[in-house]
Structure 1
């Protein structure tokens, strides 16, 4: 049938603007005519659809009914007349002329809208597969108290596929749990020179044959199925890798006590922290926990992938 699917990129509603605008018009119609209880909207929907399809489109110069059938359907009640039905060839010729006018009007309108939009638009940067880019946190749920103070970009992440000139697929960690295709307006190129460089996360410290990661600070606490957990920030990792750690895995007792001293009403605040022997690797300002469920989110995912191989 010559139908081609065109998928939109995440968090960029302009891609599907025509459908969004049509839905907005239907909502406005129903909002004007629905009752105070708003329980008759389903009865108004067929009439809203009829009004929408019978209205002349500013871009095409024709209504959807006229574009498909070549005429405007009569309003109710129906009024029959004695006019003869036009010949099929004449009707097809009329439809083809309508379609030609629609195509010309749409191309003209697209050119006008593009010219207006380009006045305030910069050229979109082009990326290649393998490039590393920063991802905007505008639509990313970070474990931070306030997004106003959160970093504007996270990453960098590698581009694994070019969808089209303005959409790219990124190699995202699984814990972000979001679609990995983004519009170029949400990406920023990674620029490196002799003054700036991306520092990789520090490797774990081996203590008694086990890998341990240092905790920078304790951010929050909660009870999950009766188990006390702490939200921790890891040394060398960003806010996107913060994770909830069971209290039994925490070796940073000083950080736990400091957190409850400033947040006495949080879960676990009225329970005296049990002293935990701190290994040599955690004698600094932070603390350590063991590898497994108690490690930065991205490290835990990497270890699961290695085990699967």
Structure 2
């Protein structure tokens, strides 16, 4: 007898709890057949049928489902059988009433909301992402995010930022439409760190001198910028992750624009075919050579010593 391969999480917990309360169970493996039989008896909310009814077309008889029409001469046995049947029917009626009452209160908070592909929505991430702060100090909804696709009838796939380490499919109950202020576009704009970024700087950037991509085995490539903080010399510049520099997007844009202008000026009147191609190896080598140029050394000290020994 094997009608289903894997029960739902709720049914699995119910079977596990029932087996743990059995005083005769020395091993859960010994009661696997009984547990499977019990699961195949349960009716699904979607089909209103049990696996037995779907596969065989009938529901097996169990002791609590058989009519207890005792007609013997013992009145005590007759009364016991009658009360047993009445208690069973009363329990079923109470469970049905409780289910209807729970559905009634749950439906009062449900909203019939539909989104189209391309719409901007706000997502509730407070119960998904871990946050060290109290829930009263954290925004309930984050965004806006663009709707990419509808998944099923009650979920949507969103375009999340790379800093948000969460699944990109959300139930409709965790979403609400985003309404942008038409008069002041910056009204309500948060100046705190984006979701997933814990770093916030209170100092200013003097200049950005270089960028690089760090590759490590087993990790994603890490994009970094060589930052000179205000009040420090250029020789004390340090590499900062690009995700932590969310407050200084204007400085990053200024660095890229100035570098593009500098490269275009260098190419004027130059034989482009003689230039060394910009590869990952050359970029990393340029980043390593940067401190020597800052300190006034035109050559790498190792290369300088080697050339001196050769002469």
Give the alignment's TM-score, normalised by structure 1: 0.44
RCO (CA 8 Å, sep 6+): is it higher in 1 or 2?
1
For normalisation by structure 2, the TM-score amounts to 0.44
Computing the radius of gyration from Cα coordinates, the structure with the larger value is 2
